[in-house]
């Protein structure tokens, strides 16, 4: 074996100095794994898959691809969710922050003036966020009917009042929602 040069000797010396620290950190890492697994042994956490945002117990997907209301709903369902149903003022505030036009899961396509959410439940008239003079059955594309609801491009002085009825065929972005998944909690490391 050829003799070590100064730089090789220095490298070996540095490795000898770092080895005890490496073993200490390795031991600490394994102890942390054991502690962490004991800490979260019976705990569950709410999680969303990639591309979804967790708020409360719900995952939201703000999709910027424009499509009709029906195509948007199909796309949300393909992702395991549906167009968003606004159940509270807090949810309206969360989704209003998008500052753009998005389909929500509200329509009166089955019966004019009878607004239903995608889950079949009727709109709670005490919890609506219609913009001023809405719904007006007028569409952005001059269609005969305006049976689907989009939110955004705020109307009136109250930023929460941002629902507009428009043609279901008019291309908009969409907000999908689905329940968060319950998973075993774990420590993030590695």
- Cβ-based burial of 146 (10 A; exposed 0-12, middle 13-18, buried ≥19): buried
Tokens of 189: 């490391």
Tokens of 69: 């209301």
Q: Does 168 reside within a domain?
A: yes
Looking at the structure, tell me whether residues 87 and 4 fall in a common domain. Answer: no
Within 10 A of 178 (CB to CB), how many other CB atoms are there?
A: 19
Tokens of 49: 């898959």
Residue 87 belongs to a domain with what CATH number?
3.10.100.10
**Residue 144, pLDDT score:** 81
Is the bond preceding residue 135 a cis peptide, omega within 30 degrees? yes
Task: Tell me the residue range of the domain where 61 lies.
Answer: 46-179
Strand partners, 66: none
Q: Does 184 reside within a domain?
A: no
Q: Does 81 reside within a domain?
A: yes
Q: 131 or 24, which is more confident?
A: 131
Q: Does 186 reside within a domain?
A: no
Looking at the structure, tell me whether residues 114 and 169 fall in a common domain. Answer: yes
Looking at the structure, tell me whether residues 21 and 76 fall in a common domain. Answer: no
Q: Does 190 reside within a domain?
A: no
What is the rounded average pLDDT of the residues 129-154?
84
Within 10 A of 22 (CB to CB), how many other CB atoms are there?
A: 10
Tokens of 27: 């031991």
**Residue whose structure tokens are 């090789």:** 8
Q: Does 11 reside within a domain?
A: yes
Q: Residue 100 in contact with residue 173, Cβ under 8 Å?
A: yes
What is the rounded average pLDDT of the residues 164-178?
94
Model confidence pLDDT, tens digit, residues 6-35: 677 776 777 777 666 765 555 455 555 555
Pairing of strands 163-166, 148-151: antiparallel
Looking at the structure, tell me whether residues 82 and 22 fall in a common domain. Answer: no
Count how many domains the chain has. 2
Question: What is the pLDDT confidence band of residue 189, given thresholds at 50, 70 and 90?
Answer: very low
Looking at the structure, tell me whether residues 52 and 116 fall in a common domain. Answer: yes
Looking at the structure, tell me whether residues 67 and 93 fall in a common domain. Answer: yes
Tokens of 156: 């009136």
Looking at the structure, tell me whether residues 36 and 118 fall in a common domain. Answer: no
Looking at the structure, tell me whether residues 166 and 81 fall in a common domain. Answer: yes
Average pLDDT, the chain: 81
**Residue 187, pLDDT score:** 61
Looking at the structure, tell me whether residues 63 and 82 fall in a common domain. Answer: yes
Model confidence pLDDT, tens digit, residues 57-95: 899 999 999 999 999 999 999 999 999 999 988 888 877
Looking at the structure, tell me whether residues 72 and 134 fall in a common domain. Answer: yes
Q: Residue 86 in contact with residue 129, Cβ under 8 Å?
A: yes
Helix segments in 40-119, DSSP class H: 69-78, 89-96
Q: Does 124 reside within a domain?
A: yes
Res 98 pLDDT > 50:
yes
**Residue 139, pLDDT score:** 76
Within 10 A of 16 (CB to CB), how many other CB atoms are there?
A: 9
**Residue 37, pLDDT score:** 53
């Amino acid at each position: 074996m050829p003799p070590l040069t100064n730089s090789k000797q220095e490298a070996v010396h540095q490795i000898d100095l770092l080895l005890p620290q490496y073993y200490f950190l390795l031991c600490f890492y394994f102890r942390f794994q054991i502690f962490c697994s004991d800490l979260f042994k019976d705990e569950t956490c709410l999680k969303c898959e990639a591309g979804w945002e967790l708020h409360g117990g719900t995952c939201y997907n703000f999709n910027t691809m424009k499509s009709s209301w029906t195509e948007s709903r199909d796309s949300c369902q393909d992702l395991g969710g549906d167009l968003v149903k606004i159940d509270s003022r807090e949810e309206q505030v969360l989704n209003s922050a998008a500052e753009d036009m998005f389909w929500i899961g509200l329509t009166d396509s089955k019966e004019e003036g009878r607004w239903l959410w995608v889950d079949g439940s009727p709109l709670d008239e005490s919890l609506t966020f219609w913009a001023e003079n809405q719904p007006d059955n007028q569409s952005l594309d001059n269609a005969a009917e305006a049976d689907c609801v989009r939110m955004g491009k705020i109307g009136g002085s109250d930023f929460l009042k941002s629902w507009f009825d428009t043609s279901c065929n008019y291309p908009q972005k969409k907000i999908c929602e689905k329940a968060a998944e319950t998973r075993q909690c774990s420590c993030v490391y590695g």
